Amino acid sequence: MEVFTRYEGNPILTVKDIPYPANSVFNAAACVFGSQTLLLMRVEDKRGISHLTVATSDDGVTGWRVEPGPALEPDPVKHPEEIWGIEDPRITRIDDLDLWAVLFTAYSRGGPLVSLATTRDFRVFERKGVVMPPEDKDAALFPVRFGGRWAMVHRPASSVEHTGAHIWISFSPDMKHWGDHQVLLPARKGAWWDANKIGLSPPPMETDKGWLVLYHGVRATASGCIYRLGLALLDRQDPTRVLMRSDEWVFGPQEDYEVVGDVDKVVFPCGWVRHGDEVRLYYGAADRCIGLAFTTVGKLLSWLEEHHDRDRRAWP
């Protein structure tokens, strides 16, 4: 059984849909905004520098309306860390604060790092600045506090060649000062599909059984990297506790638009949206366009239950 079903009209957005000159559109964050589905898309310009642009759709599948210009552009004068662009956003709705928190990768001279901006309308953004120094990326906030503190999943990677790049979790009283850093999911080793380098994909999704985590594993091969996705489940009250982790990947590049692009063999979701039990996954394909795949919370959880790795010795 395939857990995800690709939309037959994929890709849903390509650079032809961008109303100004650009190279590619991919790795979009997603949320339900009012009655619409909203994507905050990474658009790479023809210099190679990325910014974020909004697209909306009434049904979340068709009829995408792309805004005439960027929603969030690199601002290297006020924010030198954005000199080489802003990439790969993840949106979390924070009901308690009545706002949306967007974590994104800012590409600084010192390497990629994690920055935070908040918004109420996806037109005006308040930049909160850098929250994790380089190298760090693939970050998302949980929508609620744990014991009074915000929690963030992220992926520091200072010495991949020595120790691997693992998924970490950190805590903060105010979303600005972060501490209690700890490894949440280590990359596996050797021949595994998720050996040496992994990262969070969309923000963790709350379910009755715990927080569902979809993460990417990067397999290095002689002909380049393959980006595939696996699942994990975190305890609902204590997200530092990993309850399950899949042994196999659950979704990987297969269709032409996922296999061939600016970077071949990449599926890279930064957003998923839940409507009841249905889950819609919005993913960057081959660093070139955006695809959509459907599944349900029930399918994700039962697949994970069947495929979870009971032998944790295979982890690090």
Residue tagged 């697949």 (tokens): 303
Q: Are 178 and 241 in contact (CB under 8 A)?
A: no
Stretch that binds ligand BMA, among 152-160, 202-210, 235-243, 263-271 (CB under 6 A): 263-271
> With left for phi above 0 and alpha for psi between -120 and 50, is residue 158 left, alpha or beta?
alpha
CA distances from 200 to 88, 169, 171, 285 (A): 11, 11, 16, 16
Rounded distance, CA 306 to CA 207, Å? 17
Rounded distance, CA 218 to CA 211, Å? 22
Tell me which DSSP letter residue 313 carries: G
Shortest Cβ 284–ligand BMA spacing (Å): 5
Stretch that binds ligand BMA, among 61-69, 231-239, 261-269, 300-308 (CB under 6 A): 261-269
* Count of positions on this chain that bind ligand BMA (CB under 6 A): 9
Closest to ligand BMA by CB, 74 vs 284, is 284
Interaction of residue 115 with ligand BMA, rule CB under 6 A: no
Interaction of residue 194 with ligand BMA, rule CB under 6 A: no
Rounded distance, CA 88 to CA 231, Å? 19
Rounded distance, CA 154 to CA 272, Å? 17
Interaction of residue 196 with ligand BMA, rule CB under 6 A: no
Interaction of residue 70 with ligand BMA, rule CB under 6 A: no
Interaction of residue 87 with ligand BMA, rule CB under 6 A: yes
- Give the x-and-dash track for 224-253 against ligand BMA (CB under 6 A): ---x--------------------------
Rounded distance, CA 35 to CA 218, Å? 36
Could you tell me whether strands 278-285 and 267-275 are parallel, antiparallel, or unpaired per DSSP bridges? Answer: antiparallel
Choice from 263, 278, 307, 309 touching ligand BMA (CB under 6 A): 263
Rounded distance, CA 125 to CA 78, Å? 14
Shortest Cβ 302–ligand BMA spacing (Å): 29
In 3D space, the residue among 113, 117, 114 whose CA is nearest the CA of residue 99 turns out to be 117
Shortest Cβ 252–ligand BMA spacing (Å): 13
Choice from 44, 81, 88, 135 touching ligand BMA (CB under 6 A): 88
Interaction of residue 266 with ligand BMA, rule CB under 6 A: yes
Interaction of residue 284 with ligand BMA, rule CB under 6 A: yes
Closest to ligand BMA by CB, 25 vs 266, is 266
Closest to ligand BMA by CB, 239 vs 284, is 284
What is the contact surface with ligand BMA in residues (CB under 6 A)?
Answer: 27, 87-88, 227, 263, 266, 268, 284, 287
